[in-house]
Amino acid sequence: MNALLLAAHDGQHLDPAVASAVAAALPLVQGGCVDILVAGHQMATVAAQAAALAGIGTVYVADAPALASLNAETLARQIVRQCAGYRWVIGLHNLQARAALPRAAALAQAAYLSDVTRTAPDALERPAYAGAVTTRVQPLTEAVFLTIRASAFAPVQATASLARIEAAEAVQADTRSRVTGTEAVASSRPDLGRARLIVSGGRGVGSVENMAKVEALADHLGAAVGASRAAVDAGFAPNAVQIGQTGKVVAPQLYLALGISGAIQHLAGIKDAQCIVAINKDAEAPIFQIADYGVVGDLFEALPVLQAGLRPQ
């Protein structure tokens, strides 16, 4: 009943969400081992960070120049090289794992489940139909590959007793495609996936200029900025901040929805928020059905009141 976790990293730092993947794995292994696979080049720092997570048995490190820029095919090969004997092979529900794990599962003839939100040895849960339905799945194959929704699992903490670190044989790079470069969007705001506070604007915000007022409130509070798809499609906000079924799934302590109607596809991205506050001038807007607090009114009247009345965190 052992589990192998795929370490997500940027080359220097382990993604903190891997601690949530460990938390997802622990109920599955029932006292068995949770190991981590780190693949890349010059991975000593990332491996040490992985080894410090509570509950880890061994960190296997496939470190080679050929793995410096990993495409999905190469990473899939590396996973298959390492996964023999593991019942569970787990990644975050991020771009890289979503591309590599289904390939690896096909090569290993294993089951594949994506976006898992609850783990138990007999059944796993994952949302369907934009979160309107939760499916319980009982995998019947010997090995099961899955990606997990990090926000659904409380991360394990770091520990002083470090796990073993062992070298793993690196595979040959698959040369059918190669990553030619990545362009990170620089932002001083908190990452949406991990933000405790999110201020989000919808079509009701009306313009790029007005979105700047929403962003100013977010900056005042130290919050991340989000947007509905309608706001993104209208050009008020960049694609990277879209929240919902086809955007980011978030789980903040506070989600402030301004001029957002609450379409089911948007709600799919915010249902794990601990507290939702909605401001909308339409009292019948569906967002009020899930909001913890609602203000029926004009968001442009509310913005200066919020800016003056709320203290930065």
Strand partners, 24: none
Are β-strands 144-148 and 133-137 bridged in parallel, bridged antiparallel, or unpaired?
Answer: unpaired
Nearer to ligand FAD, 78 or 245 (CB): 245
Nearer to ligand FAD, 21 or 260 (CB): 260
Backbone angles phi, psi at 59, to 5 degrees: -105, 115
For the chain, the maximum distance between any two Cα atoms, rounded to a whole number of angstroms, is: 61
Nearer to ligand FAD, 28 or 257 (CB): 257
* Alpha carbon distance, N-terminus to C-terminus of the chain: 43
Nearer to ligand FAD, 46 or 302 (CB): 302
Instruction: Compute the Cα dihedral for 305, 311, 312, 313 and give only its sign.
Output: negative
Minimum distance from residue 100 beta carbon to ligand FAD (Å): 24
Nearer to ligand FAD, 163 or 306 (CB): 306
Which one-letter DSSP state was computed for residue 7? P
Minimum distance from residue 63 beta carbon to ligand FAD (Å): 37
Burial 110-141 (b: 16+ CB within 10 A, else e): bbbbbbbbbbeeeebbbbeebbeeeeeeebee
Minimum distance from residue 136 beta carbon to ligand FAD (Å): 24
Which chain residues interact with ligand FAD by CB under 6 A? Answer: 202-204, 228-231, 242-247, 259-261, 263, 265-266, 269, 279-282, 285, 298-300
Known binding-site residue numbers for FAD:
203, 228-229, 242-246, 259-266, 280
By three-state DSSP, how is residue 121 classified? coil
Are β-strands 111-116 and 144-148 bridged in parallel, bridged antiparallel, or unpaired?
Answer: parallel
Asked if 274 and 256 touch (Cβ cutoff 8 Å), the reply is no
Nearer to ligand FAD, 46 or 205 (CB): 205
Minimum distance from residue 268 beta carbon to ligand FAD (Å): 7
Minimum distance from residue 209 beta carbon to ligand FAD (Å): 14
Minimum distance from residue 95 beta carbon to ligand FAD (Å): 16
